[in-house]
Amino acid sequence: MSISGKIPNHIEELLVTNRRGFLRSAGLLAVSFGTFGAAGPKEAEAQSSAAAQGPGPYPNPDFHQIDSWIVIHPDNTATFYVGKTDPGQGTGTGFRQLMSDELDIAFEQTTCIMGSTDITVDQVGSGGSTAMERDSWPMRRVAAEARRVLLEMGSSRLGAPVDQLAVSNAVITVKADPAKRVTYGELIGGKKFNVTLNGNNVNAVTGQAKTKLVPELKYTGQPLHRDDIPGKVDGSLKWAVDVKLPGMVHARNVKPPFACAKLTGIDESSVKGLPGFIKVVSKGNYVAVVCEREEQAIRAARQLKTTWEKPPVAPFPSSEDLFQYMRTASPVAPDRPAGTGDAEARNPAAGSGGPASPNAAGASAAKTIEAEYEIPFQGHTAFAGAHATADPSNGQMTVYSNDMKSYGMRRGVATFLGMPQDRVRVVWMQGPQGFGRTAAEDAGCEAAYIAREIGRPVRMQWMRDEETAWDTKSPAFLVKMRGALDAQGHLIAYEYNARSCDYNHLGYNEPDTVLIAQLMGSRRTRPAGGSASTPSDVYEIPNRKMTGEVVGLPVVWETPLRTGNLRDPNGPQATFAAESFIDEAAAAAKTDPLEFRMKLLQAGTTDDAGFRRARSLAVLKAAAEKYGWDPRPSPKPPGNGDILTGRGMAYSFRGQTVVAQIAEVEVNRKTGHVWAKRIVCAHDCGLVVNPESLQRAVECGTLHGLSRAIHEEVRFDTEKVTSRDWASHPTLRHADVPERIDVVLVNGDPNPNRPDLPPYGAGEASLKPMLAAIANAIYDATGVRIRRVPFRDDRVLAALKAAGV
């Protein structure tokens, strides 16, 4: 039994040969099944009993060992093992740049293995834009420590003190006599470091060595090409969808036809005669069909006759009635349990800024403004449906998956199946996007469940309609805002209240909330509370009150309107409202919207350790300069012709990453069509690890924001989601793309004397202000304020007509 040639080389390497053997010899792995899939039942049994005396077949790699992070090979190359995944923004290449710098090895001599739970330490996987900001630090410190240890070894070998040695490209030389040299590979190639690191958790792990200061970094900051791209353009990369295992069969789900449906019957005779049919797997309301071939499983799933009973009450209002429902619904009790997502990605709503409100502005208010903003449910709609392949060989469970949080999936699958965690591993492989959907991935538990049921490797994939209708959704927001201006046009009071339809927000492959568990009857007595985020800005406004509350739909289990984290969770919703409102305030004050924002920023007198206020000012200024911003109040004087043009800006931050965007739009008065002709995105995420990867990630994040601004909305009637494909849940297309996009990497350090500028996250922030920038540009062009996302042609046209434009 061999999987040679079926999965990518690097995965094959780590699964089959050196790595596990290496770990075992290093004493890091008590029991190994050696060659993946090769152990027969007897051997498995023997090793299972051996496992009972030890930590098990797939124990967690020990993050306290250098050997868990770095392996130096005899040919003087190195492999880095990190507990992250790269959903397509080049972080894997970035880790290599940073670690190569700290280890002092040529970038070209390194590779990086990511996110496979049995051979890389648990760094959670990806999410929350944490790759560079948080998780690159332990990698750097371990690499620096490995370099220190190697220099000590070199010192013994060459008979010279460490301070008289030089190291470059993994070669140590005696400074005074460069002919005396030894390579890393000669010192330790194929052998273990056996060096124990300090630190209470993986984020704190450290050795004795200090990391380098920014000026000493050689690869970091260079536009090195991503190592995953060649295989993606010549077809050679093996993705999670490409896994093929001996004896593998194909499964497809049969989804309930409406939310909260109760399965009342399965007529297996409707598919029994079909070619390749193996089995209907069902428990509770979960139904799947298994066949030998993929197209057979697709056909059988479509053909299987099932009967379902409708729930006694409508599970939800229709999408047309959603906001009226949210307005009148009772918020979830404030003592609700906290959400169970990762803390850094969630911004729990909380009152802030004291009790003041526009009323507090009292007699000094010359003008008050009020507005209400609506952002619908928006889908992840990943480019391919959820998928995973599960192998139940040897009483273990291996899941091949693109789950961005592979460690979470491992815990979820193990608990869901009632297996010890060390009998389960998740091998991370590339897949379409990430954006939070693959953290709340569904196919892994499904494939594993079915694989165990039938005792063969199973490949599960969701079809397009399943994925679009049943994936996790970004929560709908209803935001009420009020403000007051004084006679000089200063914003002297500000009130923000967000209502988020987010009750029972899903975490990451939780064994009791993953969809298959729900369909099988699992319920939490207290669902996750969800969150209603407040805006991210550092405007100084005297009387400011920000609150958020969560409402729930009538039914929150077994529903396709499941909420989960979508790229910068809740950030685009909160920022759409807040930055539209700032623009409305600027217009009411008859002030240029850039000047209005700069004044609110300049009114602040303090800054934080990351200089967020100073950097906010610099980023807004950089965006305006690049765009060639012409100061004037919005809206511009009404144009004639059918095409009205205007420009709008918005600003926000995520963590310490600051973004300002300016969009120039054309609005077609006859059709309501909005085209963003030009976009400038100024972005500051601290230290730049790879400017080219960063530029691309920022550019694409910006366009993701544009897609959410003009296209994306989940539609539903009172029992099912009716957005089921790319026609009914449209996305941005080639023709929508601006003719010019300028990404300005500001990334200046306001403290020029600081040699250690840290990197901040860049995977999400550029999404955040885009919705508001487009809304503000539409207002500038037409004088019509659109407070409802997305700005589809029909909605814009109706608004223009209503305003007589």
Partner 1 sequence: MSKITLKVNGGSHTVDVEPATPLLYVLRNDLGLQGPKFGCGLGQCGACTVIINGAAVRSCVMPTSSVKGEVTTLEGLASNGKLHPLQQAWIDEQVPQCGFCQNGQILTAKVMLDKIPHPTDAQIRETMNGTLCRCMSYYRVQTAVKRAAKTLADASSASPKEVVA
Residues that bind partner 1 (CB under 8 A): 87-90, 225-226, 228-230, 232-239, 241-242, 244, 275, 293-295, 298, 381-384, 430-434, 461, 463-464, 692-693, 696-697, 699-704, 706-707, 725-727, 731-739, 741
Instruction: Identify which of residues 468 and 547 has a Cβ nearer to partner 1 in the complex.
Output: 468
Please report how close the Cβ of residue 225 comes to partner 1 at its closest, in angstroms.
Answer: 6
Please report how close the Cβ of residue 275 comes to partner 1 at its closest, in angstroms.
Answer: 7
Residue 765 contacts residue 686 (beta carbons within 8 Å): no
Beta-sheet strands, E only, within 310-386: 367-375, 378-379
Does residue 477 sit in helix, strand or coil?
Answer: strand
Instruction: Identify which of residues 236 and 307 has a Cβ nearer to partner 1 in the complex.
Output: 236
Instruction: Identify which of residues 463 and 515 has a Cβ nearer to partner 1 in the complex.
Output: 463
Please report how close the Cβ of residue 762 comes to partner 1 at its closest, in angstroms.
Answer: 12
Instruction: Identify which of residues 667 and 741 has a Cβ nearer to partner 1 in the complex.
Output: 741
Instruction: Identify which of residues 202 and 274 has a Cβ nearer to partner 1 in the complex.
Output: 274
**Alpha-carbon distances, residue 694 vs 81, 220, 226, 742 (angstroms):** 22, 12, 11, 13
How far apart are the C-alpha atoms of 136 and 144, rounded to whole Å?
12
Beta-sheet strands, E only, within 470-529: 473-474, 476-485, 491-501
Instruction: Identify which of residues 9 and 25 has a Cβ nearer to partner 1 in the complex.
Output: 9
Please report how close the Cβ of residue 297 comes to partner 1 at its closest, in angstroms.
Answer: 10
Q: What is the CA radius of gyration of the chain?
A: 28
Does residue 172 sit in helix, strand or coil?
Answer: strand
Residue 157 contacts residue 112 (beta carbons within 8 Å): no
CA 755 to chain centre: 30
Instruction: Identify which of residues 298 and 520 has a Cβ nearer to partner 1 in the complex.
Output: 298
Instruction: Identify which of residues 540 and 736 has a Cβ nearer to partner 1 in the complex.
Output: 736
Please report how close the Cβ of residue 691 comes to partner 1 at its closest, in angstroms.
Answer: 11
Please report how close the Cβ of residue 276 comes to partner 1 at its closest, in angstroms.
Answer: 9
Please report how close the Cβ of residue 122 comes to partner 1 at its closest, in angstroms.
Answer: 23
Instruction: Identify which of residues 168 and 236 has a Cβ nearer to partner 1 in the complex.
Output: 236
Please report how close the Cβ of residue 30 comes to partner 1 at its closest, in angstroms.
Answer: 36
Place of tokens 């600027």: 586
Residue 251 contacts residue 516 (beta carbons within 8 Å): no
Please report how close the Cβ of residue 94 comes to partner 1 at its closest, in angstroms.
Answer: 13
Check the CA dihedral 738-739-744-745 and report its sign.
Answer: positive
Please report how close the Cβ of residue 223 comes to partner 1 at its closest, in angstroms.
Answer: 8
Place of tokens 């069902």: 282
The pairing of strands 78-82 and 110-114 is parallel
183 bridge partner residues:
171
How far apart are the C-alpha atoms of 442 and 286, rounded to whole Å?
12
Copy the structure tokens of residue 705: 């924001």
How far apart are the C-alpha atoms of 748 and 624, rounded to whole Å?
16
Instruction: Identify which of residues 122 and 664 has a Cβ nearer to partner 1 in the complex.
Output: 664
Instruction: Identify which of residues 593 and 730 has a Cβ nearer to partner 1 in the complex.
Output: 730
Instruction: Identify which of residues 27 and 275 has a Cβ nearer to partner 1 in the complex.
Output: 275
Check the CA dihedral 735-736-740-745 and report its sign.
Answer: negative
Instruction: Identify which of residues 141 and 711 has a Cβ nearer to partner 1 in the complex.
Output: 711
Instruction: Identify which of residues 38 and 237 has a Cβ nearer to partner 1 in the complex.
Output: 237
546 bridge partner residues:
352, 496
Please report how close the Cβ of residue 692 comes to partner 1 at its closest, in angstroms.
Answer: 5
Please report how close the Cβ of residue 169 comes to partner 1 at its closest, in angstroms.
Answer: 25
Please report how close the Cβ of residue 381 comes to partner 1 at its closest, in angstroms.
Answer: 7
Copy the structure tokens of residue 593: 């919207």
Does residue 27 sit in helix, strand or coil?
Answer: coil
The pairing of strands 491-501 and 171-174 is unpaired
**Alpha-carbon distances, residue 33 vs 37, 82, 577 (angstroms):** 8, 22, 55
Residue 283 contacts residue 316 (beta carbons within 8 Å): no
Residue 140 contacts residue 69 (beta carbons within 8 Å): no
**How many other CB atoms are there within 10 angstroms of residue 162's CB atom?**
13
Please report how close the Cβ of residue 655 comes to partner 1 at its closest, in angstroms.
Answer: 21
Residue 113 contacts residue 68 (beta carbons within 8 Å): no
Instruction: Report the alpha-carbon angle 90-726-785, nearest 5.
Output: 85
Instruction: Identify which of residues 175 and 225 has a Cβ nearer to partner 1 in the complex.
Output: 225
672 conformational bin, left if phi > 0, alpha if psi -120 to 50, beta if neither: left
Please report how close the Cβ of residue 468 comes to partner 1 at its closest, in angstroms.
Answer: 9
Please report how close the Cβ of residue 725 comes to partner 1 at its closest, in angstroms.
Answer: 6
How far apart are the C-alpha atoms of 474 and 667, rounded to whole Å?
27
Characterize 87-121 residue by residue with b for buried, 16 or more Cβ atoms within 10 angstroms of its Cβ, and e for exposed: bbbbbbbbbbbbbbbbbbbbbebbbbbbbbbbbbb
Instruction: Identify which of residues 16 and 224 has a Cβ nearer to partner 1 in the complex.
Output: 224
Please report how close the Cβ of residue 727 comes to partner 1 at its closest, in angstroms.
Answer: 7
The pairing of strands 387-391 and 165-168 is unpaired
Q: Which helix (H) or strand (E) holds 281?
A: strand 277-283
Instruction: Identify which of residues 89 and 534 has a Cβ nearer to partner 1 in the complex.
Output: 89
Check the CA dihedral 503-506-511-514 and report its sign.
Answer: positive
The pairing of strands 674-684 and 657-668 is antiparallel
